[in-house]
Amino acid sequence: MAVEWTNLGLVLSVRKHGEHDIILHALTEHHGHHAGLVKGGNSRKHKGLYQPGNRLHMRWRARLPDHLGAFVCEPDRMFAAEALHDRGLLLSLTALCATAETVLPEREVHALAYRQACHLLETIGTDGWGADYVLWEMHLLNELGFGLDLESCASTGESEDLIYVSPKSGRAVSRAAGIPYKKQLLDLPPFLTAEDHGRPTQEDVAAGLELTGYFLERYVFAQHRQTLPDARVRLQTMLAG
């Protein structure tokens, strides 16, 4: 008996398969990172639908659960079209898709990662999207088991004036404890701490990207013998000004 499911999913990547078809990688809420064949997905009529970042209604069907299977999709929200005009938005959209595709194992449910990716794409372009992007990467690290502990200082236990992160333990370090080692520590932007510091500045977002980028690269991408996606590096460079 054939296996079939329907779910909303974000397009992560597409690769040509033959002349007209594509292999689609998507992030869905109930089935995680899932691949499938799309017949005619490379046609002029359908190419726009299968752009990375778009959210589609997906129906996946295969004869056996282990098979690649085939998707039939209809549009839900075309996030790619909304981001095309702006360099920063497009970089964050492509960085999100490339990161999720590489780090999330196939067919493993990561509902929270999906919901947070959708939230980020829904708010992309509004005030504070840069900080939202950093928070998405923080959640992703957490989901993958490499969450940072930014509640209290690793050295003194203080929960105030936390401005550094230890690159070894991923724990926060307070100003007083960190100053002698500040060259070896990573900066912790205020918006990632429990204290309310108002709207994050561009420098805060750049520091946040450096922080999450360090841990993603060292603990996640290195496992795949890869470096951070090009779009992610360019996003960080752009925000660092």
The footprint of another protein on this chain (CB under 8 A) covers a number of residues equal to 28
Taking CB under 8 A as the rule, does residue 98 contact another protein?
yes
Taking CB under 8 A as the rule, does residue 17 contact another protein?
no
**Phi and psi torsions of 238, nearest 5°:** -65, -45
Q: Give residue 91's region: left, alpha or beta (phi > 0; psi -120 to 50).
A: alpha
Q: Rounded to an integer, what is the distance from CA 105 to the centroid of its chain? A: 13
Touching another protein, residues 64-83 (CB under 8 A): 75, 77-78, 80-82
Taking CB under 8 A as the rule, does residue 53 contact another protein?
yes
Q: Which is nearer to another protein, 77 or 175 (CB)?
A: 77
Q: Which is nearer to another protein, 194 or 222 (CB)?
A: 222
Cα distance between residue 201 and residue 130, in whole Å: 9
Of 13-21, 152-160, 175-183, 200-208, which part binds another protein (CB under 8 A)? Answer: 13-21
Cβ atoms of residues 37 and 59 within 8 Å: no
Among 106, 151, 203, 230, binds another protein (CB under 8 A): 230
Beta bridge partners of 19: none
Structure-token match 């690793």, residue found: 154
Which two three-digit tokens encode residue 100? 């999720």
Residue ranges binding another protein (CB under 8 A): 13, 15, 19, 47-49, 51-54, 75, 77-78, 80-82, 84-85, 87, 90-91, 93-94, 98, 229-231, 234
